[in-house]
Chains A and B, each alone.
Chain A
Amino acid sequence: MFDDLRDLYQEVILDHGRRPRHATRLESFDATAKGDNPMCGDRVQVWVKYGPDGRISNTGFEARGCAISIASADLMAESVQGRTTDETRALFTAFRELARTGQCPACDAALNEPMERLKPLSGVHEYPSRVKCATLAWHALNAALEGTNNATSEGGTP
């Protein structure tokens, strides 16, 4: 009945939505920020810990929301592991493009590996009202990196 929805709800998304690996508040962290989508009530908080080399050594989150938003937060936490803040911002830009358009022109060799991990989420581009579910955790992570503490996926660019 829902065969055509398997593009959106791929097994990896259902799996990470059901059993997220990084859905935990970090006891020790260097930055944190909250994100919320007031229109649908989704909320997320992201915690980031940097290693001595300045790269992200650990990311945790607490979220309430749909399968897409939980899975996206979890896959994000996996994909930014070990990356510099500049690399993470570039990844956010590329992911936002992927979620909005289903395309990833910037997925060059440098981003290839993490973007492969995020590609199961590309199906959201066909559901405009759900794109923000996929990008909310990224907005929060970006706010944490910027030190602004709060982000919303409402209003501005998803």
Chain B
Amino acid sequence: MSFDVAKIRQDFPILSQTIRGKPLVFLDSGASAQKPRVVIDAMRNAMETQYANVHRGLHWMSERTTEAYEACRDAIAGLVNASDRAEIVITGSVTNSLNLVAHSYGRVMKPGQAVIISAMEHHSNIVPWQMLRDERGIELRVCPITDAGELDLNALETLLADRKVGLVSITHMSNVLGTYTPVERITQMAHAAGARVMFDGAQAIVHRKVDVQAIGCDFYAFTGHKLYGPTGIGALWARRELLEAMPAFLGGGDMISSVTYEKSTWAQVPHKFEAGTPPILEGIGLKAAIDYFLSIGHEGIAAHEQDLTNHAIARLSAIEGIRILGRAQDRGGVISFTLDNAHAHDVATLLDRQGIAVRAGHHCAEPLMHRLGVESTARATFGMYTTREEIDALADTLIRVREFFV
């Protein structure tokens, strides 16, 4: 099936809106993507016809809902090519997934061991490690990036050399620079140094095929709401033997095998890590989103978004006073930029007046902002439904914004 953006747009009810009298130009999918009709319908249908709590009811409703919810785990396993559905832990977000690893795998690390992150991480892949450092005496090492915005692999080699590193936790795609990191290479380097590897796939999984077996990593985290699914659900893929060896994180219902006041025992993986009533409706919605995403196909989506990225870089670079941050060889549809004499918030407000939604600020990546020498940037991010015409609207409006602040 050929990629047809006009047809895809019809699947997203929200895109036909007008904002302040102008057609919506939504260039903030990297923060959270819009939802196709099939996701909305799946969640509504579940609430209208077959909703109950999961994993515990002996009645028809609960059995049907459990089946529908657990189908999400299979969909996720298929999406990332996990060899075993028990390797999929359903969480609330990437942040939850990263914290799970920090609090659980982090507890089996020994004081004096180190965690490596990169200089282009989201706060969610910085702060949990700082907490671990302060609680457990784990050293936190930051792998620098080059001026082009690529991971400095020579520096990574050096940081791994003393073999004290227990875990390398790095983004698969920068939410500021759009840089993809060489995940296979990083994994090989880390494993050669005896370290485990985790990737934050919040941005990457939306744009390219992720195959955890081909990458060879140990943990991979992603979230549903950037993948055209609902908020409140994310996932952690991890090797089964790791999950089995790791201590439980949150305690509560659903994660136990038996409970007495003296002692409790844990459920099998992945349920050991899924305390409490899970995001049931969100799971049903995410399953629909993954099915929809795969029906469009990685190949078509990736080619379309690469075309948009090239077009956006060409158009924006041609505007005087605009500086695009990052020029990695391998990059995707995340474009951060600054405009001379104008603060990103003012740029965003002016764009908003024309119905154009971009993000402005530090993008939850303050240390990266310091590295780049900027306070904040405006950021346009693309999804499968983004069009060349929307990029043109952004560029044409930015030319006027520039005149406004000269």
Contact = CB atoms under 8 A, between A and B. Distances in A.
Partners in one complex: yes
A56 interface: no
Contacts of A65: 343, 345
A9 B375 CA distance: 21
Interface residues of B, number: 22
A109 interface: no
A90 interface: no
B349 A127 contact: yes
B349 A40 contact: no
Contacts of B362: 40-41
Contact of A18 (B341, B349, B369): B341
Contact of A40 (B342, B361, B397, B401): B361
B346 to A, nearest CB: 5
Contacts of A4: 353
A127 B362 CA distance: 20
A41 B353 contact: no
B340 to A, nearest CB: 12
Interface in B349-373: 349-350, 353-354, 360-362, 366, 369
B80 to A, nearest CB: 32
Contact of B350 (A2, A40, A64): A2
A93 to B, nearest CB: 25
A120 to B, nearest CB: 15
A9 B343 CA distance: 13
A41 B343 contact: no
B47 to A, nearest CB: 31
B405 interface: yes
Contact of A41 (B346, B354, B375): B375
A130 B345 contact: yes
A38 to B, nearest CB: 9
Contacts of B401: 2
Interface string A48-83: 000000000000000011111000000000000000
A5 B350 contact: yes
B345 A5 contact: no
A131 to B, nearest CB: 12
Contacts of B376: 40-41
Given A1-B397, A39-B361, A127-B349, A9 B404 contact: yes
Contact of B354 (A1, A8, A39): A1
B185 to A, nearest CB: 33
Nearest to A124: B349
A136 B195 CA distance: 45
A65 B349 CA distance: 14
B375 to A, nearest CB: 5
Contact of A2 (B344, B345, B369, B400): B400
With a 10 A CB-CB cut-off, give which of B342, B353, B366 has the most chain A CB atoms.
B353
B353 A5 contact: yes
Interface in B141-161: none
A9 to B, nearest CB: 7
A14 interface: yes
B346 A67 contact: yes
Given A41-B361, A41-B376, A5 B349 contact: yes
13 contacts: A1-B354, A4-B353, A5-B349, A5-B353, A9-B346, A14-B405, A18-B341, A40-B362, A40-B376, A41-B361, A41-B366, A67-B405, A130-B349
